Structure 1
C-alpha cells in the first residue's frame, strides 16, 4: 500500500490521531482517579501528580522530538515514540503502587509527546498560511473526539474490568496507530538539517524563537488557554465527585459536554478561518476563554454564598471556555509556526514545552488547592482565560500594529 498524499483528508485525520495520544492518556483514566486514592492508600495531591508528571515528561520531550525530527525525519522519530508509549502503557497497567504508576506515566509521556510535536510539524511541512490553520483546525476536531469518548469509555472499562483496563486500551490504541504510521504516513521533512541536534545550534534556534515578539504572543495564547483546560482536567474528577456528588460514568458524560464546546470551537475555526484570518479568530477564542472563566467564578461565588448548586454551574461555563480553546489553539499554533519554515520542529518543540510546563505547574497548584468547594478550580480557570485575552491584546495585537 502507498503512503497517503498531502491532499488526502485521511492524512489530516491520521495527523489528528497522532495528536490524540496525549488527551487519550490524560482523559481515559480520569474516572478512576478518586478510586486510586483508596487503592494505593494515598491522597488527592499524589494521585493528581500522575497527571502533572505526564505533562512534565511531555514538556521535556518537546525540546527533543522537534530537533531530532528536523535532522532525521518525522516518520522514524514518530514510530520510535509510539513504541515507547505502547510499552509504558502496559507498565502502567502493572503498577503496584502510586510511585510506580507515576514513573510509568512519565514514560508514557515520553512516547506520546512524539505525536503532538510531529503532528504539528508535519502539518507545517505540508501546508502554508490559512491552509495550515485549516488543517490544524481539522486536526483539532479529530483531537476533540478523543476527550469526548475517552472518559465515557474509561468509566465503563473501570466499572466492568477495573482501572487497569484503561491502560490496556491505551496500549492497544498505540499499537494500532503505530501500524498506520508504518503503512500510510509519508515522510514530510524535505529540508533535513544535520546541525539541528547540536546543542549550540539548538540553543541558538530557541533563542531566535524566544526573541520573536509574534512567536511569544501566539505561544502565550496557546499556553494559557491550554493551562485553563488542563486545570479542569486535573481537578474536575475530584471536584465533581466531592462537591456535586456524581459517579464515574456520569463524570464521563459531563466531560462529553465539555468536549462539545471544544469541537464547536474547532468547527467554527474550520468554517471561518479562511474568510476572517488567523488573528481575528484568535481574538474571538481568547475572549471566549476569558468569558467562560469569569462566569464560572461568579456562579461558584453565588453558590458558595447561597448553598446548594448543580454540576452544570461548573460544566456550562467550561463549555464556553473550551469553545474558546478550540478556536485559540489552532490559530495560535499556526501563527507561531508560520514564520519558521526551516525550523518548524524546533518551533513546535519550544511552543509545546512552554504549553505543557505551564499546564503541569497549574495542575500541581490546583491539586494542592482543592477543597470542598469548586472555587479553587474556578479561580484557576478564570485566571488562565484572562491571561489568554491579555496575551493577545498586549503582545499579538501590539506586534501586528507596529508591523513587527
Structure 2
C-alpha cells in the first residue's frame, strides 16, 4: 500500500512538513528526558540526593506521568479533536518546564517532572493519532518510520545541547529552560500549520461506558493487545539504558568526557534503522522485519552478555554491539506501533493512549528496575536486555499463534 492519506480529513500540509511536525511533537518527550542527562549528577548534588542511583528518579517519575496520562489523553482527543487538545497540552508543557527551574528541593523537582510528563503524554498521543487518522497498514508504518528517523535526531543532539547549556549558564536549571523554549516553538508551529484531522462526525463520547468499551475493544483484539504488550516489554530496554547511561560511562568506563558522543551512537543506529525501515517496509511488511529484529535484538544482547562475562568491559566492543542491538530495536518500534494501531482506527486516540501507556509506564517500570540494579558493572543492564528480548519473542509467538514472519498485514486495511 502506498503511503498516501487514507482519510477524508487529508491535511493541507505537505508530507515532509507533516512528518517533521509530528516528529518534533514526539521529540518533545525525548528532549525532556535526554537534555538533562549531563546534569543528573549535578542536580543530585545540588538538591542533596543521598544515593547516586536515586537521581535516576528524575527520568522515572517523568515517564510514569507521561505513561499514565496517555490513558486519559486518548479518550479526550477522540472526543474533542486533535488540535484544541494539543494547544492546551503544549501550553502546560511550557509552564511545567518553567516550574522545574523553580524547584528548591528534590521532592518538588520530582513533582514538577511528573506534571511535565503528564503534559508531554498528550503530545505523544496526538502525534500518533494524527498519523493513524490519515494512514493505515504499511503506509502508516512507512510514515512512522520517517517520523522516527527525524525524531531520533533529538536523542543524538539533546545531551550535547544540555552539556553546552551547562557550560554557558553554569546552572542545571538552564536545561529545563530549553524545554520551555522547545514547547513554545511547537505551540506556535502547530497552532498555525496543523489542521484538525479528526472530523466532528467521528468524535466519540467521553462517558465512562464508552471509554471502557473502547479499551475493551483493544483488549479483545489479539493483534493489538499482543503488540501493545510487546512494545511495553521491549521499550524497557531503552529506558534501562537512558536511566543508567551516565553511570555506565562514568563508573564502568571512566570516560564521562565522551558520554554525550557515545550516547549518540546507539541513537544514530536507531535513526538509520528507522529510515531503512521506511524504505523497505512496504515491500517486506511489518511482521517479517520486526520479527527478525526481535530475534536479532536477543542474539546480540546474548553475545554482549557473554563478552562482558568472560572478557570484562571494553568500550569499543560495548559500543559496537550496543549499536547493533539498538539498530534491531529501531526495526521493532514503528512496526509494532503500526500493527497495534491498524485494527483500531475508529478509536485511534484510545488505542494510541494505551499503546503509549504500555511503552512508557510499563517500560519505565521495567527499565527503571533494571537500571536501579546498577552495581558498577554492565551485567545487570545487559542481562536485562537478554530477558526482555526473549520475553518479547514469546509474546510475539503467542500473538501470531506460533507463526513468525507471516504477511498478515497483506490483508485489507481496517479503517
TM tier relative to shorter chain: over 0.9
Q: Which residue of 1 aligns with 2:398?
A: 394
1:70–1:340 distance in 2 versus 1, CA, 3 Å: same
Q: Which residue of 1 aligns with 2:29?
A: 22
Asked if 2 retains the 8 angstrom alpha-carbon contact of 1:221 and 1:328, the reply is no
Q: Which residue of 2 aligns with 1:8?
A: 15
1:314–1:104 distance in 2 versus 1, CA, 3 Å: farther
Deviation at 1:312, TM superposition (A): 3.1
TM-score by length of 2: 0.91
Deviation at 1:116, TM superposition (A): 1.1
Give distance in 2, aligned partners of 1:212 and 1:129. 16
1:18–1:24 distance in 2 versus 1, CA, 3 Å: same
Among candidates 45, 52, 70, match of residue 38 of structure 1: 45
Q: Which residue of 1 aligns with 2:6?
A: none
1:201 aligns with 2:210: yes
- SS of the residue corresponding to residue 41 of structure 1 reads coil
- SS of the residue corresponding to residue 67 of structure 2 reads helix
Q: What is the correspondence of 1:249-260 to structure 2 with a 5 Å cutoff? A: 249-260=257-268
Q: Which residue of 2 aligns with 1:219?
A: 228
1:38–1:325 distance in 2 versus 1, CA, 3 Å: same
Among candidates 207, 224, 240, match of residue 231 of structure 1: 240
Q: Which residue of 2 aligns with 1:85?
A: 93
Asked if 2 retains the 8 angstrom alpha-carbon contact of 1:134 and 1:269, the reply is yes
Asked if 2 retains the 8 angstrom alpha-carbon contact of 1:125 and 1:189, the reply is yes
Among candidates 302, 315, 320, match of residue 319 of structure 2: 315
Among candidates 87, 109, 117, match of residue 101 of structure 1: 109
| CA RMSD of superposed structures (Å) | 2.1
The one-character-per-residue Cα deviations of 1:346-387 (angstroms, maximum 9, x if unpaired) are 111111111112222123313431112111111122222222
1:185 aligns with 2:194: yes
1:359 aligns with 2:363: yes
- Any gaps of 5 or more consecutive residues in structure 1? none
TM-score by length of 1: 0.93
1:241–1:145 distance in 2 versus 1, CA, 3 Å: same
1:24–1:397 distance in 2 versus 1, CA, 3 Å: farther
Q: What is the correspondence of 1:122-201 to structure 2 with a 5 Å cutoff? A: 122-161=130-169, 162-190=171-199, 192=201, 195-201=204-210
Asked if 1 retains the 8 angstrom alpha-carbon contact of 2:13 and 2:193, the reply is no
Deviation at 1:97, TM superposition (A): 1.2
1:385 aligns with 2:389: yes
- SS of the residue corresponding to residue 338 of structure 1 reads helix
Deviation at 1:178, TM superposition (A): 0.6
Give distance in 2, aligned partners of 1:363 and 1:39. 25
Among candidates 248, 251, 262, match of residue 242 of structure 1: 251
1:402–1:27 distance in 2 versus 1, CA, 3 Å: closer
Give distance in 1, aligned partners of 2:281 and 2:350. 25
The one-character-per-residue Cα deviations of 1:111-144 (angstroms, maximum 9, x if unpaired) are 1111211111100001121111111000010111
1:174–1:300 distance in 2 versus 1, CA, 3 Å: same
Moved more, 212-221 or 390-399: 390-399
Among candidates 328, 343, 348, match of residue 347 of structure 2: 343
Give distance in 2, aligned partners of 1:358 and 1:111. 18
- SS of the residue corresponding to residue 285 of structure 1 reads helix
- Any gaps of 5 or more consecutive residues in structure 2? 1-9
Q: What is the correspondence of 1:107-118 to structure 2 with a 5 Å cutoff? A: 107-118=115-126
- SS of the residue corresponding to residue 343 of structure 2 reads coil
Give distance in 2, aligned partners of 1:191 and 1:4. 15
The one-character-per-residue Cα deviations of 1:308-327 (angstroms, maximum 9, x if unpaired) are x3323433222122212211
Deviation at 1:287, TM superposition (A): 2.1
- Structure 1 segments (4+ residues) deviating >6 Å: 399-404
Q: Which residue of 1 aligns with 2:56?
A: 48
Give distance in 2, aligned partners of 1:274 and 1:385. 25
Give distance in 1, aligned partners of 2:61 and 2:155. 19
Moved more, 85-94 or 172-181: 85-94
Among candidates 35, 60, 67, match of residue 68 of structure 2: 60
